[in-house]
Amino acid sequence: MTPNARQIVFENVSKFYGEVLGVNKVSFCLEPGITSLVGPNGSGKTTLMNLLTGLIKPSQGAIYVLGLTHNNQSSSSGKSDMHAI
């Protein structure tokens, strides 16, 4: 997957809390539009939203929001472009 400036992309993202698995090998690409996130308790919805907003970092994998990575680096230039989301 090659992210662009209009997408939210998760590539093989996993998050561990110690030995507890929060989400495992999640990959998806969201285009502009309305999207909902539903699932039972404990399915990882809050973990996905915390990863998406940068409140927590993934244990492995890559996240791109509007072409920027979770560590505030542009996916193409390597320069910091993210000021606020």
Residue 69's pLDDT is what?
84
Euclidean distance between CA atoms 68 and 74, whole angstroms: 4
0.85 exceeded by pTM: no
pLDDT (average), residues 53-82: 73
> Which of residues 85 and 44 earns the better pLDDT score?
44
Pairing relationship of beta strands 20-30 and 68-69 according to DSSP bridges: unpaired
- Report the CATH fold assignment for 8-69: Rossmann fold (3.40.50)
pLDDT per position as a tens digit, 20-67 = 999 999 999 999 999 999 999 999 999 999 999 999 999 999 999 988
The pair of three-digit structure tokens given for residue 64, joined into one six-digit string: 């791109």
Domain residue ranges of the chain, discontinuous segments joined by +: 8-69
